[in-house]
Structure 1
Amino acid sequence: MNFDGILFFPVTPFDAQGRVDVDLLRTHIGDTLAHHPGGVFPACGTGEFHALSASEAATVVRAAVETVGGRVPVVAGTGGPLGHALEAARAAADAGADALLVLPPYLVGGTQDGLVAYVEQIAAASDLPVVVYHRATAQFTPATVRRLAENPRVVGVKDGVGDLATAQLIVRAVAETGRDDFAFFNGLLTAELTQGAYRGIGIPLYSSAAFAMVPEVANAFYRAYVDGDDVRRMLLLDRFYTPLVALRDETPGFGVSLVKAGVRLGGLPVGPVRAPLVDPTPEQTERLAAILDAGRALL
């Protein structure tokens, strides 16, 4: 599976009654597709997978697949409680997704053998390839990732831990298997801040939360990154991403909440986040608007 461009994680819109708003979701994805993401990841972290029922996740994925229409890969979220994960995996396959992103199991942490069993049971639930998300209750050792990479259905790792030494060893462990079809992603919050370092250890892909709310700014950074234009990349980091991260770090969960607020500021009424996340205050929303305007001004 090849990805050429920024990885786009859409938000999940909710209507006034708190239901998934499929029409707004289609608009959100369709409008952002015009900015040429390398892949679409519905019902994942930014899409509030943690707060969706299995049937809601299935609805989100089906709408995404239909809207994307095969233009780029669609990688659906699954994970959490194992039964929920299996149900979401099967539904994503039925909806026509191209792959699964396996989020960490719910609440408990297991041994490395237990984590392998968790991934392999999800992989066996459908015929879709899977990408494992290395973070939280699913932190894999390099040896475990090498073991998983022996399974051809496991096609990638997304790193959300931020330990560069371990990430480097994971890349090398997969290289020992001889696989050349394995994808590595930087999945840290606001990954643009760390992507220069990740590229240096052999992880060229990254997910961009900013792409969901200001795709033109995210693409400007991506072009500078790909072209090696470090002057422009640093300008965007200093004047846009650094203040965005400072605001994000004020409140737990703002890695999702700010993105949804940014989409609302862009004119799409995607509704609030679901509990336990909270939306930005009016004052924080004003500051977010100023940061987004500053980013656009740099273009």
Structure 2
Amino acid sequence: MKFTGIVPALVTPFDARQQIDEQALGNLIESLIDAGVHGLFVLGTNGEFFALSEAEKVRIARLTVEAARGRVPVIAGTGAFATRDVIELNKKMTDVGVQALSVITPFFNAVSQTELINHYSAIGDASPLPIMLYNIPAKTGMSIGIPAVATLSQHPQIKGIKDSAGNFDSLVQMLRYRSDDFAVFAGTDSLIYWNLLAGGDGAVAATANAVPQVVMDIWNRFQAGDHDGARAAQEALRPLRDAFALGTMPSVLKKATDLLNVRVGPCRAPTAELDAQTVHKLEGLLSVYRA
């Protein structure tokens, strides 16, 4: 597959007992495919991968593949600190039928850039599926440096990067290594339009859970040459993104998805649901999407 377009980073729906809600996951997937998305990204940061067991991760990937029914490709997050653990989970994800893998940098214990290159190279060597690098230094405590991107972009199985650092200058530097065989995706939703304008390939967009039509509008208008419309759609994401400060990730996104799209339930503890006062404030911020 080729990494391109708008690929929502799915939240993981839970029921009241904080167990995986299969029906809600199916409803979310249908809403996104109906909106015209180009793929589905599961088990990312907003998908609470850090709160899931390996068995749950494999189950979610399998359910997503089954629900997608080949209409769009499925990218599964498989990151872990240990190289061997990533390789083993990649084998299991390959068996359930995902089309690509996303591997976050090692976390908690920051490694050197040489160790990082060796980590990703070994994972790529062992993978039959294309791999998307995942850079999110605010959560992992380390970043994929530009020289490492330059090196890893040449690996035959590493086909792109999702950059969630939120630094446009760094994203532009990564675009120097973009090619037909290596895609550069914005992982920060405020930079979707700007990444496309700079020559990037698309975005892995968490806000699409709640407002898929707005996110798709950025892409569709940009492709049609309507830059004013694409910028307006990009700006329309601001109220939702500003609301994220109201709670612990991804509690606000999940509640916004409940209110604007389909019900996806609570987060897994210790992340708590929003209290009534905060929900009321959130509803006010989201009222622009109901106009």
Same-fold status (TM-score > 0.5)? yes
- Rounded to whole Å, the distance in 2 between the matches of 1:182 and 1:259 is 30
Structure 1 residue 246 corresponds to structure 2 residue 242: yes
The structure, 1 or 2, with the larger RCO (C-alpha pairs under 8 Å, 6+ apart) is 2
The Cα offsets for residues 215-257 of structure 1, whole Å up to 9 and x where unpaired, read as 223223333333343443454455x42222222134442xx22
Structure 1 residue 86 corresponds to structure 2 residue 83: no
- Rounded to whole Å, the distance in 1 between the matches of 2:130 and 2:232 is 38
Look up the SS of the partner of 1:157 in the other structure: strand
Look up the SS of the partner of 2:237 in the other structure: helix
The one-letter code of the counterpart of 1:224 is R
CA contact (8 A) 1:236 1:295 kept: no
- Rounded to whole Å, the distance in 1 between the matches of 2:252 and 2:225 is 29
CA contact (8 A) 1:155 1:182 kept: yes
| Runs of at least 5 residues in structure 2 that lack an aligned partner in the other structure | none
> 70-79 or 221-230: which moved more?
221-230
- For 1:137-286, list aligned pairs within 5 A: 137-172=141-176, 174=177, 179-188=179-188, 191=189, 193-238=190-235, 240-253=236-249, 256-266=250-260, 268-286=262-280
The Cα offsets for residues 188-239 of structure 1, whole Å up to 9 and x where unpaired, read as 1xx1x3233323432241122221122223223333333343443454455x
- From the superposition, tell whether residues 43 and 90 of structure 1 become closer, same or farther in structure 2 (CA, over 3 Å): same
Under a length normalisation based on structure 2, what TM-score does the superposition of the two structures give? Answer: 0.88
- Rounded to whole Å, the distance in 2 between the matches of 1:53 and 1:88 is 11
| 1:135 counterpart residue number | 136
The Cα offsets for residues 158-198 of structure 1, whole Å up to 9 and x where unpaired, read as 111133333222221x25xxx4221110001xx1x323332
- From the superposition, tell whether residues 133 and 24 of structure 1 become closer, same or farther in structure 2 (CA, over 3 Å): same
> 216-225 or 7-16: which moved more?
216-225
> 75-84 or 39-48: which moved more?
75-84
CA contact (8 A) 1:158 1:186 kept: yes
CA contact (8 A) 2:209 2:261 kept: no
Cα deviation, residue 156, structure 1: 0.2
State the percentage of identical aligned residues.
30
- Rounded to whole Å, the distance in 2 between the matches of 1:281 and 1:221 is 32
CA contact (8 A) 2:107 2:142 kept: no
- From the superposition, tell whether residues 204 and 129 of structure 1 become closer, same or farther in structure 2 (CA, over 3 Å): closer
- Rounded to whole Å, the distance in 1 between the matches of 2:192 and 2:263 is 31
* Count of aligned positions: 287
Structure 1 residue 111 corresponds to structure 2 residue 107: no
- Rounded to whole Å, the distance in 2 between the matches of 1:57 and 1:219 is 27
Structure 1 residue 294 corresponds to structure 2 residue 291: no
> 227-236 or 213-222: which moved more?
227-236
| 1:9 counterpart residue number | 9
- Rounded to whole Å, the distance in 1 between the matches of 2:284 and 2:202 is 28
The one-letter code of the counterpart of 1:243 is P
The one-letter code of the counterpart of 1:149 is S
- Rounded to whole Å, the distance in 2 between the matches of 1:184 and 1:127 is 21
Look up the SS of the partner of 2:42 in the other structure: coil
| 1:121 counterpart residue number | 122
Under a length normalisation based on structure 1, what TM-score does the superposition of the two structures give? Answer: 0.86
- Rounded to whole Å, the distance in 1 between the matches of 2:276 and 2:230 is 30
- From the superposition, tell whether residues 166 and 267 of structure 1 become closer, same or farther in structure 2 (CA, over 3 Å): closer
Cα deviation, residue 84, structure 1: 4.2
- Rounded to whole Å, the distance in 2 between the matches of 1:268 and 1:144 is 39
CA contact (8 A) 1:102 1:130 kept: yes
Cα deviation, residue 55, structure 1: 0.8
